[in-house]
Structure formats: C-alpha cells, structure tokens
C-alpha cells in the first residue's frame, strides 16, 4: 500500500488546496519572473503544501527542478555548482534556453532550496554567502522553502518575494480527504472525514496520514473507525519518547503509544535514535541500538519494495523493542531538545555537528547521523575521561558542546575541567607542531585566534606544513596519546614532536579514539 501523502501529492498548482491567495501569488510570480527576476520564499507550517506547490508549479510551467536541502548539503559547493549552471542558461540535459519568448519556458530550471531557515547556522561552510550569491546572480527562478521566515537572515529575507502559506483549515481539508476516498474506492461517513480534519486542523499532510491509518486497508470508513480504531492523536512525540524510553511497563504499552502518535515509523525511528542515548546507558543502550538497526532495515525494505505493510515491523522495533531493551523504568523530566531533522531548534547540536563535519570532511548529515551517536555513546557522562578530553580537544568543543555530546550538565565541574584540560592539550600540541612558524607573532596569540575562529586542529597542521616541511598534522591519536601521557602512561607519542617522522600524516577517523 503506497503512502497516500506521496500518492496524492498535488501534481498541478490547482490541486494545492486551502491556500488560494498564496497559490495565486506564486503563479503570478512565476508568470512574470522574466520581468522581476526575484527569488521567492514560501514559508509556513509543516504539511501545508509548500514543497508540493513548488513542484506543481514547475510541472505546470514545464520547468525542470533542482532541489537542494540546505541543512544536508555542503551548501557552498553544491549551490555554487547549480548557481553556476543556472547562470549559464543551460538545462540539466545540457540544452540551451530558447531565446524566443514562446520557447522561453522550455529548458528553464526551478531551483528549490528546502529548509532555507537552517542555512545561517552553516557559517563554517560559507552556505549563507553561497545562497546570497545564488539569490543575486542566478539566472533561473529560485524558490526558498522555510518553516520560520524570521529564522532566515535579514539579507535573504529582503532579497526574496515573500509568499506566506497559512495553516490549512479543517474546512479545506475535508474535500481533499473526500477526493482521496473516492479515488481509493473507500465508502465513508462524512462525519468521519470531518473528525479527521478537525483533529488535524492546520496540517493537511497529517490529515492524509490519519485518513490512511484510519481506513487501514478496508473498503469503508465510519466515525467509529476514526474515534476508536484510529489514532486519537493524544500522544505527542515527547509523550511517546517518555513512554518508550522511560515509563511504559510493557513492550505492548509502548507499542500502543506508537500507534497513538502522529508520526510515521521513519520519524519515530529518527526521534528515538536521536534521543535514546540521553536516557539509556551501557548494555541497554546497545540492545536498543540493535532494535533501531532492525527498524532501519524494515524501513529500507519499505522503500525498496514500496510495501508499506513493513512499516509495522519498524514500529514494533522502535517502540516495543527499544522499550524492552530497558533494565528499569525511570521518572523525572528529560530535556530531549528539538527534532532530529530540524536543527534550527537546537543551535548547540548544529555547532557540534558542523565542527565534526568540518574536522572529518563529511557532510553535516553524516556527522549528525553517523558520527555524533558514536561520540555520544562512547563519552556518555564523560566516561572514560581521557577519551572525552581527547574528543573535546580534537573538535575544540566548548562546555555546552561537551555537555550536549556527553549528556552531562554544562555547569558541572567535570565538564569545565575537561574543557580546560582539552584547551591546554591543544595549545601544547599546537606548539609542538608549529615549529617556529609563529615565532614572530607569538604562539599563544596564534593559538587563541585559531581557537576563536574554530578552524580546528587541521589548520594548525597546515600552518606547520607551510613553515618548514614538517608534517605537523595533529591527529586524535596525538590528543588521546597526550591524554594518556598525562595519566601516567609511558607510551611513545610519535608524531607530536614535529620532527617530520611518524604516523600522523593521514586523516583520522573514529578508530583513532581507541
């Protein structure tokens, strides 16, 4: 059974419901684009049709689309590439734009930049500058999509034509649900559709999801199916996390809570994956990750086969499986932070992931999904301490970053002393690797400015390289080895003397920790 939100995604602007004014403004923007050449920003709550409108408009106009996700890409490079191509007036298939007015729309590209409200956190990658350049120079229509207009930089806001998508009212949701039922051949009680529309007031996507789960593969839908068989949507995501990670007395209870949330199994998996290490420890964490890996496999099967029945196995794993991995119930309040994919809600995590990404040479998304969880598991509550110091020094983390990764309190002496020790370690290593490169200006001043600009240990290595041909690249090995030395270990720390020999000329990876 296909996902109805995808199956019934509007394919033409006229099918975008409940936002007639925004829709007309958007169409007018596109029709007159050649005269004004402004980018547009579509902003509004999740699930109100912004992304659908952008694609539908492109389809109506016969334009190709180029979609970029601002929070997931090495934005500067990617945007540069697309902006450059757009500026050359070439299409994805390489054909030139036709000059004559009638032919003009053929070969045009609509550049869709999703999550535009996340861009300004990517300062390290020059993402913001790249976007501003794109907005000013692109010779093709550009549409930015954002949930929160005011999270975008002022420069970006003023460069764009603003088009606001409002929450879709229950009154506008009902006809969409009715259409879907008709196309699916599902008999329905009008009251059932109204109930779904009311309980999802504002969010058309979640109404469509609710409809699909209430119908549950049957040929008819009654009010009873919605109120009893269907989800009552009383559980928000934090209630679900509390139930699974802390409170439920049985796997079955956790599973029931999963059915009562308004999230897909993909989203539930992302949430649990992101938050589990804030609550679980040791063996229970390892068991939970096994279930998350299973959930991920089932999600993979859903996408490979388009068989949405597999969703339920993902849900079993992420709720009942993770809950059953727990040794005990827990009380108290947990600061879970924001959604895993909406990094605007967590500036600390953005800073942490962008430092990891920069240092490891990977994308923000990889840093977030594949590196951060390991760091969190390995340095949980700052144990082992040496490793936590080494990590802090390597990524040049501040106290809030260490507290975020380890789950320890930011103001605790433990975290503060780790950050201090890491700072000393960085300075020692910078000195050891720099040779006399900074003799003129004074090493301390350089070390401070390096730390200030968040350039990371790589830069110290590069500077040392240019100074005298020594390979002074600092690796996590050095940092960890130094930490070991301090703890009384006599191991040789080859490579941190700046004498050009040794093993530290490669990129370091996670294995350097061990």
Ligand X SMILES: Nc1ncnc2c1ncn2[C@@H]1O[C@H](COP(=O)(O)OP(=O)(O)OP(=O)(O)O)[C@@H](O)[C@H]1O
Chain contacts with ligand X (rule: CB under 6 A): 5-6, 8-10, 15-19, 46-52, 147, 168, 176, 204-205, 208
d(CA 84, CA 90): 10
Could you list the residues known to form a binding site for ATP, using ranges.
Answer: 44-51
Which residue number, 211 or 322, has a Cβ lying nearer to ligand X? 211
Q: How far is the CB of 366 from ligand X (least distance, A)?
A: 22
Cα 392 from chain centroid? 23
Which residue number, 167 or 455, has a Cβ lying nearer to ligand X? 167
What is the token pair recorded at 499?
A: 């004498």
Please say whether the beta carbons of 407 and 434 come within 8 A. Answer: no
The residue whose Cβ lies closest to ligand X is 49
Which residue number, 50 or 246, has a Cβ lying nearer to ligand X? 50
What is the token pair recorded at 465?
A: 């390289």
Cα 205 from chain centroid? 20
Q: Which ranges constitute the DSSP H helices of 200-281? A: 204-215, 223-224, 237-242, 251-259, 265-275
Q: How far is the CB of 226 from ligand X (least distance, A)?
A: 19
Other C-beta atoms lying within 10 Å of the C-beta of residue 402:
27
Please say whether the beta carbons of 107 and 95 come within 8 A. Answer: yes
Which residue number, 163 or 457, has a Cβ lying nearer to ligand X? 163
Q: How far is the CB of 337 from ligand X (least distance, A)?
A: 19
Q: How far is the CB of 40 from ligand X (least distance, A)?
A: 14
Which residue number, 5 or 508, has a Cβ lying nearer to ligand X? 5
Which residue number, 123 or 233, has a Cβ lying nearer to ligand X? 233
Strand partners, 65: 110
Could you list the residues known to form a binding site, using ranges.
Answer: 44-51
With b meaning 16 or more CB within 10 Å and e meaning fewer, what string describes 226-258? beeebbeeebebeebbbbbbbbbeebeebbebb
Q: How far is the CB of 67 from ligand X (least distance, A)?
A: 11
Q: How far is the CB of 191 from ligand X (least distance, A)?
A: 22
d(CA 232, CA 215): 14
Tell me phi and psi for residue 270, to 5 degrees. -60, -45
Give the C-alpha distances (Å, rounded to integers) separating 212 from 31, 157, 309, 463: 36, 37, 12, 59
């Amino acid at each position: 059974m296909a996902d109805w939100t995808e199956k019934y995604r509007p394919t033409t602007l006229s099918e975008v419901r409940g936002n007639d004014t925004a829709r007309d403004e958007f169409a007018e923007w596109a029709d007159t684009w050649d005269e004004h050449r402004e980018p547009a920003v579509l902003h509004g709550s999740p699930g109100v049709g912004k992304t659908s409108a952008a694609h539908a408009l492109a389809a109506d106009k016969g334009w190709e689309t180029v979609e970029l996700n601002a929070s997931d890409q090495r934005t500067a490079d990617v945007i540069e590439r697309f902006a450059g191509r757009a500026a050359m007036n070439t299409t994805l298939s390489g054909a030139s734009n036709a000059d004559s007015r009638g032919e003009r729309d053929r070969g045009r590209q609509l550049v869709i930049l999703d999550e535009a409200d996340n861009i300004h956190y990517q300062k390290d990658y020059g993402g913001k500058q790249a976007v501003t350049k794109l907005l000013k120079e692109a010779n093709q229509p550009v549409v930015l999509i954002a949930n929160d207009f005011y999270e975008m930089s002022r420069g970006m806001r003023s460069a764009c034509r603003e088009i606001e998508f409002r929450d879709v009212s229950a009154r506008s949701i009902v006809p969409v649900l009715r259409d879907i039922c008709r196309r699916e051949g599902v008999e329905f009680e009008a009251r059932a559709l109204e109930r779904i529309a009311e309980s999802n007031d504002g969010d058309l996507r979640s109404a469509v999801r609710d409809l699909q789960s209430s119908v549950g593969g049957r040929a008819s839908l009654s009010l009873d199916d919605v109120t009893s068989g269907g989800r009552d949507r009383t559980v928000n995501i934090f209630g679900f996390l509390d139930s699974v990670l802390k409170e439920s007395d049985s796997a079955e209870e956790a599973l029931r809570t999963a059915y009562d949330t308004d999230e897909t199994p993909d989203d539930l998996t992302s949430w649990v994956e992101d938050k589990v290490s804030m609550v679980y420890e040791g063996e229970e964490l390892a068991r939970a990750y096994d279930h998350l890996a299973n959930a991920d496999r089932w999600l993979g099967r859903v996408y490979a086969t388009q068989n949405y029945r597999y969703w339920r196995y993902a849900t079993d794993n992420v709720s009942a499986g993770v809950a059953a991995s727990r040794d005990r119930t827990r009380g108290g309040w947990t600061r879970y932070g924001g959604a895993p994919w909406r990094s605007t809600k967590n500036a600390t995590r953005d800073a942490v992931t962008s430092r990891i990404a920069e240092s490891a040479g990977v994308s923000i998304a990889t840093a977030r999904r594949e590196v951060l969880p390991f760091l969190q598991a390995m340095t949980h509550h700052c144990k082992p301490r040496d490793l936590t110091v080494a990590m802090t020094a390597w990524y040049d983390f501040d106290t809030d970053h260490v507290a975020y990764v380890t789950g320890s309190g930011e103001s605790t002496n433990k975290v503060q002393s780790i950050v201090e020790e890491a700072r000393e370690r960085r300075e020692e290593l910078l000195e050891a690797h720099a040779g006399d490169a900074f003799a003129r200006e004074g090493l301390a001043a350089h070390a401070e400015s390096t730390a200030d600009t968040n350039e990371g240990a790589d830069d110290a290595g590069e500077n040392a390289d240019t100074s005298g041909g020594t390979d002074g690249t600092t690796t996590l090995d050095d940092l960890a080895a130094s930490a070991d030395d301090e703890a009384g270990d006599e191991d040789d720390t080859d490579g941190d003397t700046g004498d050009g020999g040794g093993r530290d000329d490669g990129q370091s990876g996670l294995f350097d920790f061990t």
